């Protein structure tokens, strides 16, 4: 078995193209991963690989299923080490299919011209041909042995083709302009064990000469064999495998922070960026000048993070310590040059940030409202000023509904976007502080804490795992903001389509639903939207879809979601409470609910288009008749749970209600075994018609009780599901 | 100490040694060395070219009345362009830093993605900002398009911020403390100009007049380019661009109007580029036309 090493040497590829984290959607977009995977697929097609594919999980090593494999993904190189390739393809037999038998032989059973032509072209004797199965029936054909080709030969074809076929997020040309890649290709190493594979990538012929660290390694490094690659490069100050660099950064960050008496909060995004900005990372500590420690920590930390990629060391309760940690590419700093340089730059950056902050705080937040008229929210939905006015009204109404301080909510909502025209937030490095900055300014200007906090929190949650607003006023503003954005965008015809969601409406919807469900804020969305101006077409379905997504994350079944949403999405918090109860109780009483769901599917069909009938217990047949016993048993079961279940439902104790309701199952089973509901389908016999209507009335009552939780006919019985 | 003028000498010396023609600054106001026709027009068309020059750049919005130690209305770029881009251009660039007196082994150097785009020039490129101990000292760009034309061959542009680099070399935090030579500081040479131009850009510039100039420069550029006088036409394009920058600094342009101004300047630049490109059209087509 041979080991294959490919290294494509380039000028610095942007971190975002090397890293999975910046990928779009659920697919891996990182260049090195896609390159390696496409070559593995090509090897498989050529019968040179029957091992695993790369692991697509970003939290796993891509080669977790391929022992001995390793990724090369650093600023100046991408590629991989793939072990276990055979030296050549096995010989294999292949069936060559010619014309259909019908045309290959004439009526007399003799070979036709068509058959002769085929044989001549293939260079075989017709005596060696026989009948084979073609795609559309019997054909003339023959078996032949295909000689396996050397792996090296195949690699020299498939590797350049795979590179040329790669999707490039942003392509460029260089030099004479004839080649296209993400950055200029400067060298290529391709080794099968210790032999150079003859191939050429983007006009560069492969060899065994790699390059070390740009500054701290050798300009040229000879790679003796595929397996020697990583060790050889490590000596030249290159950790080619990103996992090695990540480990080194994490270890050193931890050690440095501990030595400084603090810790560094996790920041996977920044860590990932630095992993792909360095070939040999090292962590260096520096000091934050004391005069800037008085800045709000959000501004200080964002400033150093966004401008300088620094981690700020935190002490007890996440207080800011006067130290930053920076990741440098390679060098020690014995003379303190780098540290001094970094401190100088951070001083000027912090000085800018402090200037912005001090200027901003001087401007009363109310005075900024007017300037929002000049900031476009959406062409058809007007300016941020218009939006602010809408938010004021919506948040006030929400506060009324939720028993919160309506005046406070209204003020916070009206002013929550004012920081968009502050000096700080207009700087691109500080845009992530939108909301937060407004909250800080409001607090500094003496607004009540809950109002300032509502502004501060109103962009939360920014992503699926992010924290929610802390207080109820924050909920009011955050929900008002999301509802407004969704309504306006849907009204303007900007609903997301396929993979396109330029206004991040999916995220807005998930944020909205998370706040309503996790904080149990009651809100009947259709009627509330109606009250606020209308329900845009498609919005409720879209929100229902997002709620399904959230429920899926919670581990609820798709059939449970169907059961809850069968009657449309009303109040998400209520629906959420119901599905939680349904999920739990259904597991407790699995058999009962399986039976009930089957029965309810029948009931649903029977009741389709039937008017509501009066229930008349005196019409039930007598106990000693089989049907009468069935009717009476179900009626008694219904009567036994109706009041208590109703009370529990009124109290929104859905679990309690479902537990009670589950007890009707034997009666339901018995009813359908023994009673013919549609005993007079043609309506010929008045007496039977009355009986039938009475039975339907009983089922209507029973279903209505269950419907207060969900549509149980949507539940897919577990056995059936397992059998699928 | 490495003075400003000494650093410029070293830059010219190094790049002359790499085969660059040493050009002089263009005598009109502009925001970046890229706008010098020495870059903007020379990157177009097929012939190889390599030049280097100092370019004073005016950015009215960056004026701080001579009071901010890091920000100035007018700064100096050292611009290098090479067409086609040499295979070892990064190594040459690193050698240039060493020749200025930077011992790279003692510093942290990173090439961080920074794709350059000049909407007023219909130009964009792909490249990096070069970070030295956290300071951006150079913009490094492979031009992909200019004046609306796809480029082939590709020019590489290296733009050093001379003040930044000089402050770095001397470990100085205040631009005005840079020694221009052994007798004069940057402050001696520039501070008063910074003050006066900040007053002009932010307070005194007459917006009605400047807006009218913009219209006139635009009209003149269009008139001249039709006569295939693309060089004077481009001068008026530059003047229009600077008038726009002043209007912008005065806060006289709304968000919507801003995009429109940028589009108007881009049209002028693209028209000049198109006129310049005519010389490279196949001979028989010119004859036919």
Is there a contact between A482 and A460 (Cβ–Cβ < 8 Å)?
no
- B47 vs A: CB within 8 A: no
Residue B226 sits in a domain whose CATH number is 1.20.58.180
Cα dihedral value A537, A540, A545, A551, nearest 10: 170
Helix (H, G, I), strand (E, B) or coil at A265: coil
The residue from B160, B176, B201 where one domain ends is B201
Closest C-alpha among B102, A226, B227, A248 to residue B93 = B102
pLDDT of residue A23: 43
> Do B32 and B136 fall within a single domain?
yes
CATH of the domain at B64: 3.30.930.10
| DSSP 8-state class, residue A168 | -
**Closest-CA residue to B256 (of A390, A366, A373):** A373
Q: What is the distance between the alpha carbons of residues A488 and A394, in angstroms, rounded to a whole number?
A: 13
Q: What's the confidence (pLDDT) of residue A131?
A: 87
Which run of H or of E encompasses A281? strand A281-287
Q: Which of A210, A235, A260 is the last residue of a domain?
A: A235
Q: What is the model's pLDDT at position B283? A: 64
SS3 A437: helix
Indicate whether this model's pTM tops 0.90: no
Q: Out of B69, B104, B113, name the one closest to residue A16 (CB).
A: B113
Output the six-digit token pair for B114. 């920074």
pLDDT confidence bin for B248, thresholds 50/70/90: confident
Last residue of a domain, one of B145, B178, B201: B201
Distance, in Å, from the CA atom of A462 to the CA atom of A468, rounded to the nearest integer, reads: 9
CB A90, CB A47: distance < 8 Å:
yes
Do B143 and B273 sit in the same domain of this protein? no
Residues 6+ apart with CB under 8 A from A687: none
Is the same domain home to A122 and A176? no
Q: What is the pLDDT of residues A237-279, one digit of tens each?
A: 999 999 999 999 999 999 999 999 999 999 988 999 999 999 9
CA distance A252 to chain B (A): 17
Give Cα separations from B11 to A133, B18, B65, B186 (angstroms). 76, 11, 29, 18
Domain that holds residue B248: 205-288
**Distance from C-alpha of A24 to C-alpha of A26, rounded to nearest angstrom:** 6
Which string of DSSP letters, residue by residue, matches B39-93?
A: HHTTTSSSS-EEEEEEEEEE-GGG--TT--SS--SEEEEEEEEEESPPTTHHHHH
Q: How many residues does chain A have?
A: 724
- pLDDT of A710 above 80: yes
Residues A142 and A157 in one domain: no
Q: Please tell me whether residues A456 and A542 are part of one structural domain.
A: yes
Q: CA-to-CA distance for B235 and B35, rounded, in angstroms?
A: 10
According to DSSP, residue A138 is labeled E
**Rounded-to-integer distance, Cα B288 and Cα B276, Å:** 18
Show Cβ contacts of residue A340 under 8 Å, excluding neighbours closer than 6 positions.
B133, B171
**What pLDDT does residue B287 have?**
47
- Summarised one tens digit per residue, pLDDT across range A557-609 is 999 999 999 989 999 999 999 999 999 998 888 888 888 888 888 888 888 88
Instruction: Determine if residue A237 is left, alpha or beta; phi over 0 gives left, psi from -120 to 50 gives alpha, anything else beta.
Output: left
Residues A45 and A156 reside in one and the same domain: yes
Task: Give yes or no for a contact between B176 and B186, defined as CB atoms under 8 angstroms apart.
Answer: yes
Q: Nearest CB to B255: which of A177, A338, A374?
A: A374
- Are B112 and B154 contained in the same domain? yes
Whether B16 and B91 share a structural domain? yes
Average pLDDT over every residue of B114-118: 92
B135 and A CB contact within 8 Å = yes
Round the average pLDDT of chain A to a whole number and report it.
92
What is the average pLDDT across A203-223? Answer: 97
Percent of all residues in chain A with a pLDDT value above 70, rounded to a whole number: 98
Residues B186 and B259 in one domain: no
B151 touches chain A (CB under 8 A): yes
Regarding whether A209 and A131 lie in a shared domain, the answer is no
Per-residue pLDDT, A21: 60
In total, how many domains does chain B have?
2
> What gap in Å lies between CA B233 and CA B221, rounded to an integer?
4
A401 shares a domain with A510:
yes
Res B288: pLDDT: 46
Q: What is the mean pLDDT of residues A386-407?
A: 96
| Same domain flag for A700 and A641 | yes
| Region class of A348: left (phi > 0), else alpha (psi between -120 and 50), else beta | alpha
CA B165, CA B33: separation in Å to the nearest integer? 16
Q: With bands split at pLDDT 50, 70 and 90, how would you rate the model's confidence at A58?
A: confident
Which one of A174, A335, A376 has the shortest CB-CB distance to B255? Answer: A376
Let me know if residue A204 belongs to a domain. yes
From residue A527, alpha-carbon distances to A557, A569, A571 in Å are 28, 11, 10
d(CA A159, CA A150): 14
Note whether A376 and A255 are same-domain residues: no
Q: A interface mutation test: which of B113, B129, B136 has the most A CBs within 10 A? A: B113
Whether A177 and chain B come into contact, CB under 8 Å, resolves to: yes
Q: Does B142 touch chain A (CB under 8 A)?
A: yes
CA distance A188 to chain B (A): 14
Number of domains in chain A: 5
Q: Evaluate whether B111 touches A75 at the Cβ level (below 8 Å).
A: yes
Q: Do A677 and A534 belong together in one domain? A: no
Residues of A in contact with B254 (CB under 8 A): 374
Residue A24 has pLDDT above 60, yes or no: no
Q: How many CB atoms lie within 10 A of CB A371?
A: 16
* B94, B100, B101, B104: CA torsion to nearest 10: -10
Instruction: Report how far residue A436's alpha carbon sits from residue A258's, in angstroms, rounded to the nearest whole number.
Output: 29
Under the phi-then-psi rule, with left for phi > 0, alpha for psi from -120 to 50, and beta for the rest, what region is B132?
A: beta
Contacts of B35 (CB under 8 A, 6+ apart): B26, B118, B121, B238, B241
Does residue A192 contact residue A85 with C-beta atoms inside 8 Å? yes
Q: Is A685 left (phi over 0), alpha (psi -120 to 50) or beta?
A: beta
- Please spell the DSSP secondary structure of A180-236, one letter per residue: -BSS-EEEEEEEETTEEP--EETTEEEESEE---TTTS-S-EE--SGGGHHHHHHHT
Average pLDDT rounded to a whole number, residues B180-199? 96
Judgement on whether residues B173 and B89 belong to the same structural domain of the protein: yes
Q: Are residues B15 and B125 in the same domain?
A: yes
- Token duo for residue A609: 């288009």
In a domain, A511, yes or no: yes
Q: Are residues A485 and A419 in the same domain?
A: yes
Which of B152, B185, B201 corresponds to the end of one domain? B201
For residue B85, the chain A residues in CB contact (below 8 A) are 174-175, 184
User: SS in 3 state form for A381-428?
Assistant: HEEHHHHHHHHHHHHHHHHHHCCCCHHHHHHHHHHCCHHHHCHHHHCH
pLDDT tens per residue across span B2-36: 999 999 999 999 999 999 999 999 999 999 999 99
Please tell me whether residues B177 and B209 are part of one structural domain: no
- The answer to whether residue A342 scores a pLDDT higher than 50 is yes
As given in the structure block, the two tokens for residue A147 are 């000689």
Residue A386 lies in a domain: yes
* Position A676 pLDDT exceeds 70: yes
Residue A195 has pLDDT above 60, yes or no: yes
Tell me whether residues A176 and B153 touch, CB distance under 8 A: yes
Residue of B nearest to A187 (CA): B87
Q: How far is A599 from A672, CA to CA, in rounded Å?
A: 8
Q: What are A364's two structure tokens?
A: 């009363």
Q: Does A363 touch chain B (CB under 8 A)?
A: no
Are B34 and B170 members of one domain? yes
Virtual CA dihedral for A121, A123, A126, A130, nearest 10 degrees?
A: -90
List CB contacts (< 8 A) between B142 and chain A.
172-174, 184
pLDDT digits (tens, 9 = 90+) for A478-513: 999 999 999 999 999 989 987 788 888 999 999 999
Is residue A633, in this structure, part of any structural domain at all?
Answer: yes
Distance from CA of A262 to the nearest CA of B (A): 24
User: Rounded to the nearest 5°, which phi and psi values hold at B142?
Assistant: -95, 110
Handedness of CA A257, A258, A264, A268 (dihedral sign): positive
Q: Are residues B217 and B179 in the same domain?
A: no
- Residues spanned by the domain of A596: 589-723
- B235 and B196: one domain? no
The pair of structure tokens assigned to A201 is: 């990538």
Same domain, A417 and A393: yes
The answer on A525 and A408 residing in a single domain is yes
DSSP letters along A658-702, please?
HHHHGGGHHHHHHHHHH--S-S-TT---HHHHHHHHHHHHHHHHH
- Evaluate if residue A33 carries a pLDDT over 80: yes
Lowest mean pLDDT among A55-59, A152-156, A465-469, B263-267: A55-59
Please report the residues numbered 21 through 80 in chain A whose beta carbons come closer than 8 angstroms to any beta carbon of chain B.
Answer: 75
d(C-alpha B8, C-alpha B169), whole Å:
13
Q: What is the pLDDT of residues B31-77, one digit of tens each?
A: 999 999 999 999 999 999 999 999 999 999 888 899 888 889 999 99
- Nearest residue of B to residue A283 by CA position? B108
Composition of chain A by helix, strand, coil, percent to 5: 55, 15, 30
Q: Which residues pair with A188 in a beta bridge?
A: A8, A206
Rounded-to-integer distance, Cα A244 and Cα B77, Å: 39
Write the residue in B133, B144, B154 that is nearest to A338 by C-beta.
Answer: B133
The Cα A385–Cα A337 span in angstroms is 49
Same domain, yes or no: B178 and B248: no
């Amino acid at each position: 078995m041979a080991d294959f090493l490919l290294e494509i040497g380039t000028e610095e590829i942007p971190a975002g193209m090397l890293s999975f984290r910046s990928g779009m959607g659920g697919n891996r977009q990182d260049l090195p991963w896609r390159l390696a995977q496409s070559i593995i697929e090509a090897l498989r097609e050529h019968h040179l690989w029957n091992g695993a594919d790369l692991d697509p999980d970003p939290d796993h090593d891509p080669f977790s299923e391929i022992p001995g494999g390793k990724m090369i993904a650093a600023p100046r190189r991408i590629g991989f080490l793939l072990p276990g390739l055979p030296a050549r393809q096995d010989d294999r037999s292949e069936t060559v299919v010619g014309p259909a038998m019908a045309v290959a032989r004439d009526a007399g059973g003799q070979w036709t011209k068509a058959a002769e032509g085929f044989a001549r072209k293939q260079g075989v004797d017709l005596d060696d041909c026989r009948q084979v199965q073609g795609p559309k029936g019997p054909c003339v054909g023959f078996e032949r042995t295909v000689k396996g080709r050397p792996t090296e030969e195949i690699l020299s074809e498939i590797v350049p083709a795979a590179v040329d076929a790669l999707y490039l997020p942003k392509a460029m040309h260089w030099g004479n302009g004839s080649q296209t890649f993400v950055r200029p290709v400067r060298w290529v190493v391709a080794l099968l064990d210790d032999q150079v594979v003859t191939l050429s990538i983007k006009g560069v012929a492969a060899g065994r000469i790699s390059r070390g660290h740009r500054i701290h390694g050798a300009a040229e490094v000879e790679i003796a064999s595929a397996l020697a690659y990583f060790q050889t490069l490590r000596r030249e100050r290159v950790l080619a495998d990103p996992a090695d660099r990540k480990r080194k950064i994490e270890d050193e960050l931890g050690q440095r922070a501990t030595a400084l008496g603090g810790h560094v909060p996790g920041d996977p995004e920044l860590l990932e960026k630095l992993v792909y900005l360095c070939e040999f990372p090292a962590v260096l500590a520096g000091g934050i000048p004391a005069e800037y420690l008085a800045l709000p920590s959000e501004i200080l930390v964002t400033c150093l993070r966004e401008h300088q990629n620094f981690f700020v060391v935190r002490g007890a309760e996440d207080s800011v310590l006067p130290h930053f940690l920076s990741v440098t590419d390679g060098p020690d700093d014995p003379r303190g040059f780098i540290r001094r340089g970094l401190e100088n730059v951070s001083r000027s950056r912090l000085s800018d940030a402090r200037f912005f902050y001090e200027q901003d705080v001087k401007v009363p937040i109310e005075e900024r409202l007017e300037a929002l008229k000049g900031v476009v929210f959406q062409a058809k939905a007007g300016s941020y000023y218009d939006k602010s006015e809408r938010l004021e009204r919506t948040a006030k109404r929400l506060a009324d509904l939720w028993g919160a301080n309506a005046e406070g909510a209204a003020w916070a909502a009206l002013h929550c976007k004012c920081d968009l025209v502050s000096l700080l937030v207009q700087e691109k490095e500080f845009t992530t502080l939108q909301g937060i900055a407004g909250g800080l300014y409001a607090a500094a200007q003496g607004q009540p804490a809950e109002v300032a906090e509502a502004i501060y929190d109103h962009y939360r949650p920014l992503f699926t795992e992010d924290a929610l607003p802390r207080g109820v006023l924050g909920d009011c503003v955050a929900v008002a903001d999301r509802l407004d954005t969704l309504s306006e965008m849907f009204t303007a015809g900007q609903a997301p389509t396929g993979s396109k969601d330029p206004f991040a409406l999916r995220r807005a919807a998930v944020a909205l639903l998370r706040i309503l469900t996790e904080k149990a804020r009651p809100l009947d969305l259709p009627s509330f939207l109606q009250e606020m101006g209308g329900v845009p077409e498609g919005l409720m379905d879209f929100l229902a879809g997002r709620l399904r997504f959230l429920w899926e994350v919670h581990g609820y079944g798709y059939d449970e979601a169907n059961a809850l949403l069968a009657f449309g999405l009303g109040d998400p918090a209520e629906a959420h409470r119901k599905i939680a109860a349904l999920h739990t109780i259904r597991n407790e009483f699995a058999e009962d609910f399986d039976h009930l769901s089957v029965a309810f599917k029948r009931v649903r069909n029977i009741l389709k288009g039937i008017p509501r009938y009066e229930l008349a217990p005196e019409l039930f047949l007598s106990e000693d008749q089989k049907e009468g016993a069935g009717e009476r048993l179900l009626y008694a079961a219904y009567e036994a749970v109706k009041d208590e279940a109703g009370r529990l439902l009124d109290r929104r104790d859905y679990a309690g209600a479902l537990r009670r309701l589950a007890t009707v199952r034997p009666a339901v089973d018995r009813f359908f075994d023994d009673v013919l509901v549609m005993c007079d389908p043609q309506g010929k016999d008045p007496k039977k018609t009355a009986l039938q209507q009475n039975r339907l009335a009983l089922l209507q009552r029973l279903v209505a009780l269950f419907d207060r939780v969900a549509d149980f006919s949507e539940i897919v019985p577990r056995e059936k599901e397992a059998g699928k | 100490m490495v003075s400003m003028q000494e650093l410029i000498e070293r830059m010219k010396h190094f790049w002359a040694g790499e085969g660059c023609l040493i050009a002089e600054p263009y005598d009109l106001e502009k925001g970046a060395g890229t706008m010098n026709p020495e870059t903007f027009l020379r990157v177009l068309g097929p012939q190889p070219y390599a030049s280097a020059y100092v370019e004073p750049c005016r950015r009215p919005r960056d004026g701080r009345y001579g009071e901010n130690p890091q920000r100035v209305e007018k700064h100096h770029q050292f611009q290098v362009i090479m067409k086609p881009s040499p295979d070892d251009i990064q190594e040459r660039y690193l050698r240039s830093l060493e020749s200025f007196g930077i011992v790279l082994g003692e510093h942290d150097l990173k090439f961080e993605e920074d794709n350059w785009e000049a909407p007023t020039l219909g130009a964009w490129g792909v490249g990096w900002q070069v970070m030295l101990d956290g300071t951006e000292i150079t913009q490094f760009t492979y031009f992909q398009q200019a004046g609306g034309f796809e480029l082939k061959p590709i020019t590489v542009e290296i733009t050093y911020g001379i003040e930044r680099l000089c402050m770095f070399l001397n470990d100085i935090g205040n631009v005005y403390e840079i020694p221009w030579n052994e007798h004069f500081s940057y402050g001696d040479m520039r501070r008063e100009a910074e003050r006066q131009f900040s007053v002009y850009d932010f307070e005194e510039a007459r917006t009605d007049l400047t807006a009218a100039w913009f219209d006139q420069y635009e009209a003149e550029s269009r008139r001249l380019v039709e006569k295939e006088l693309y060089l004077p036409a481009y001068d008026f394009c530059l003047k229009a661009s600077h008038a726009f920058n002043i209007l912008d600094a005065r806060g006289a342009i709304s968000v919507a109007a801003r995009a429109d101004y940028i589009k108007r300047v881009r049209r002028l630049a693209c028209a000049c580029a198109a006129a310049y490109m005519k010389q490279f059209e196949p001979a028989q087509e010119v004859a036919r036309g």
